[in-house]
Every structure is written in C-alpha cells, then in structure tokens.
Amino acid sequence: MLRRVLAVLVLAALLAAPASAGGLDIQVKDVRAAASAVRTAVELRDIIPERFRRLLDEGSTLHLRVQAELWESRPVWDRLVYPAIVKVFRVGRSASTRDVTIADATAAGTAAQPLRNPLPVLVDLGEANRVAATEKYYVHVIATLGTLADRDVDEAGDAVFGRESEANGLGALGRMVFRTALKVSDYLQSVSAETKSHKVDGRDIIRP
C-alpha cells in the first residue's frame, strides 16, 4: 500500500504540474490610474489550445485564472505594491449556438459573452496613492487555463484506494495524501503563461 501511495503521489504531481505555455500569450497594454485606483489593461491571445477544445466539445467547463501584481522596481529587492489580484473566468460552449463563451466568475450575475481573441481584461490593482511619482513600476501577470474536475479526482482515488466507505486506515491516509497533492495545483490539466510589462515611471501612472 505504501508503494501505491508513493506511485499516486508521483502521478498527482505530474497531473497537477502546469503544461508548457503552448499558444497562450499575454501582453500588458497599459497601466494607469483610473479615478482613485491603478488599473492595468491586459490582452490574452490564443487562450484555448486545440487539446482543450475537445474538452469544451464534450461539455466540460474550463477556468481561466488571471493574476496581476504591481511591483516597484528597486536596485536590490523589488517591492510588491499591492497584494496580488486574481480574476477567474468560466469558459464553455453555449448550449444554443455552440459558440465558445466566457463569464467573469468573480462578478456575481455576469452573463456569458462570446470569447474574443484577443481577450481584453481590465484589473484594478489598488489605490493610486500607493504609487510615488519618482519611482519606477512594472506589472507582472500570470494566466492559467485549466480544468477543475473533482469527480475525476474521486474516481481516481476509488480506483487506487477503494471507496471511502470501504477504505481501511491506510487507504484513508492514502486518499487524503492523494487529494492534498492534487490541490497543490487546483488544475488537473492546465496551460500557463506569464509576462512582465516594461518599467513605467510613477508619474506616468498617476498623471491625469
């Protein structure tokens, strides 16, 4: 059983590891103070690789996670100006038109819209008064498209350790370790990309 646990941990690590970036591409188009908040404009291109289109055709929902951060550029250690801001989108196919659609999962009641390529994303990073005119800043963005399939996790655990109601103590331990390893990355299959913008003077961010 211990060998089985170790084998599953290796499998879980492989499943949870993000894939290479593939076609997913990110561009930071702008970072500017809008009213009292600093906002960055990001474009995502070629969001859905071909292998993920098959999942959409089968009725699966994909989740697009966009994380954006504003950093102050320093000679030794760069400083994170605000905590990372994360936006999550649901990507699926329309039941009526079969078009690929996207909806902001972090904004309640947001209706699904046709997926655009490139996809513009606006992220409010934090209050403008945290930016100094004399310093330099850049935006760091990470985008991940992936699947979240708890049912698949359960079925894999059942196959290795037996059903939860039937599992002995060691089997229950193996199941817990298995799920914990997968939760290191929420995505069972994923593709990721990241980028940093060019450095921008603080005065250009906060100017009217």
Does residue 34 surpass a pLDDT of 50?
Answer: yes
> Which residues, including other chains, have CB under 8 Å from residue 45's CB and lie 6 or more apart?
23, 24, 25, 26, 27, 117, 118, 119
For residues 141-165, give the mean pLDDT: 57
- With respect to residue 80, please indicate whether it lies within any of the assigned structural domains: yes
| Lowest mean pLDDT segment, chosen from 86-100, 102-116, 160-174, 190-204 | 160-174
pLDDT of 24? 87
For residues 16-32, give the mean pLDDT: 72
- With respect to residue 9, please indicate whether it lies within any of the assigned structural domains: no
Does residue 182 surpass a pLDDT of 50?
Answer: no
Total number of domains constituting the chain: 1
pLDDT in tens, 80-129: 999 999 998 999 988 888 889 999 887 776 788 999 999 999 999 999 99
Higher pLDDT, 116 or 179: 116
Q: Which two tokens stand for residue 45?
A: 């291109």
Q: Is the omega angle on the peptide bond into residue 75 within 30 degrees of 0, that is, cis?
A: no
Range of the domain at 143: 20-150+187-206
Confidence of residue 147 (pLDDT cuts 50, 70, 90): confident
How far is residue 86's CA from residue 16's CA, in Å, rounded to a whole number?
A: 19
How far is residue 57's CA from residue 42's CA, in Å, rounded to a whole number?
A: 27
CATH code of residue 133:
2.60.40
Confidence of residue 187 (pLDDT cuts 50, 70, 90): low
Does residue 169 surpass a pLDDT of 90?
Answer: no
> Which residues, including other chains, have CB under 8 Å from residue 89's CB and lie 6 or more apart?
63, 64, 65, 66, 102, 103, 104, 105
- With respect to residue 118, please indicate whether it lies within any of the assigned structural domains: yes
Q: Containing H/E element for 109?
A: none
Confidence of residue 56 (pLDDT cuts 50, 70, 90): confident
- With respect to residue 155, please indicate whether it lies within any of the assigned structural domains: no
Task: Burial-class residue 69 by CB neighbours within 10 Å (0-12, 13-18, 19+).
Answer: buried
How far is residue 166's CA from residue 171's CA, in Å, rounded to a whole number?
A: 9
- With respect to residue 175, please indicate whether it lies within any of the assigned structural domains: no
What is the residue-averaged pLDDT of the chain?
A: 77
Does residue 148 surpass a pLDDT of 90?
Answer: no
Q: Which of 125, 143, 140, 142 is nearest to 205 (CA)?
A: 125
How far is residue 173's CA from residue 151's CA, in Å, rounded to a whole number?
A: 19
- With respect to residue 142, please indicate whether it lies within any of the assigned structural domains: yes
pLDDT of 188? 56
- With respect to residue 86, please indicate whether it lies within any of the assigned structural domains: yes
- With respect to residue 180, please indicate whether it lies within any of the assigned structural domains: no
62: Cα within 13 Å, side-chain hemisphere: 28
For residues 165-194, give the mean pLDDT: 55
| Lowest mean pLDDT segment, chosen from 10-14, 50-54, 61-65, 125-129 | 10-14
Give one word for 152, left, alpha or beta, with left for phi > 0 and alpha for psi -120 to 50.
Answer: alpha
Higher pLDDT, 131 or 108: 131
